[in-house]
Structure 1
Amino acid sequence: MPRRTRLRACPIDQARNSLVIELAELAKTVSEQLTRAKAKTFGDVAAFVDLSAEEYKVKLGGKKGNLTLHSFDGRYKLQIATAESITFDERLQAAKELLDQCAADWSDGTREEVKIVLQNTFQTDREGNLSVGKILGLRRWAITDARWQAAMRAISESIQVIGSKQYIRFYERVGMTDRYVPIPLDMVAV
């Protein structure tokens, strides 16, 4: 990226430059500290879980799931949550076709609400992605139509886990209540 140069910078330009450089260096330092804190937290918690499992002569394997740890006095709570990235394979198209057949038969040309709900469920966002939550939400409906049941089976079988991310959250208890408030670690939240 080319540098903007002037023959002579005025005092406000120099002050802006100094401010931006100072704050960018601070941001880099904080970012590095957060990176180290994250690595330490994951490492220390994994070692603690292994230590705890050793008490029962159990060897845990594979990726750990969600976990909540409390301080002895209950003042602090640490949560590690794993969120999976889910997509669907080609079987989702078969499910959509079965659901479209159900909607066509059920609405019988009189009421279009069922079609609208299903169209909304399979609508993509600006990036062309489907809403995993909306699609999986269809499985909560207790509909006995054989085509619906086949579509739900196709949806279940089309789920592909393509990755996962782990999140660390810290909380502090509010006084002597059962309520915890998050300890914010992102700049937007503070």
Structure 2
Amino acid sequence: MEMNTIPTGYRQDAQGRLVHESMIKPIDLERDRLVRHWVDRASELSSELADFKVAAFGDIEAFVDLSAEQYGAKLGGKKGNLSLLTFDGRYKIVRAINESVAFDERLQAARALIDECLRDWTQDARPEVVTLVNDAFRTDTKGEIRTARVLALRRLEIADERWQKAMQAIGDACQVVGSKSYIRVYERIGDSDQWRQISLDIAGV
């Protein structure tokens, strides 16, 4: 792909037109300089954070394996959430892995079984259960089922065989489709049991 070379003394505007610098207002040149400076700095910080994440996860995983070796254990597969504290208990690092869950076609079978239950139960006046079910299967603004609310139905103590089959179908339909890993760093607040997160988010600094 060919790159257009901008002649010396010219700038390209947002419409792709070449404009001589003498025709550009000083305030516009200063704005351009300011934005480019901080975009470059932000790119550097983003790269540093990426390096930090890779290095931190690598060191934590190596330490977990080292700790397991003390008991002659070998860890395999995906690692879970954990917390590591300094000897004096002042600092803590938390590794968190959040899994993304989706439902396959078996969720429709679960809904059909639940609807059978509801048609019978409505005669016995169980409005709270009807509300919970309808809310669980209501889609969000993106048209997607809210997985946490559907899974919450499994905590209901209902002995009906159809309900039990529906809950099994929900469990079978639940599929892990991805995961995101996080590292959070904390400092203890004084001698309390409260922690203050050391923010790695620009909005939280």
Q: Normalising TM by the smaller chain, what interval?
A: over 0.9
State yes or no: 1:56 paired with 2:71. yes
Q: Calculate percent identity across the aligned residue pairs.
A: 48
TM-score, length-scaled by structure 1: 0.92
Match of 2:96 in 1: 81
Question: Which of 159, 162, 166 pairs up with 1:151?
Answer: 166
Amino acid at match of 2:79: K
| Contact 1:87/1:159 (<8 A) preserved | yes
Match of 1:119 in 2: 134
Matches within 5 A, 1:1-190: 3=16, 5-7=18-20, 8-108=23-123, 114-190=129-205
Change (3 A) 1:4 1:181: farther
Give the length in aligned residue pairs: 190
Q: Distance in 1 between matches of 2:116 and 2:181?
A: 39
Equivalent residue of 1:129, what SS? coil
TM-score, length-scaled by structure 2: 0.86
Please report the RMSD computed on the Cα atoms of aligned residues, expressed in angstroms.
1.9
Per-residue CA deviations over 1:15-42 (Å, capped at 9, x if unaligned) read 1101100110110011011001001100
Amino acid at match of 2:161: A
Q: Please, which runs of 5 or more residues in structure 1 have no aligned partner? A: none
Task: Answer 1 or 2: higher relative contact order, Cα 8 Å, separation at least 6.
Answer: 1
Shift in Å at residue 109 of structure 1? Answer: 9.2
Change (3 A) 1:189 1:16: same
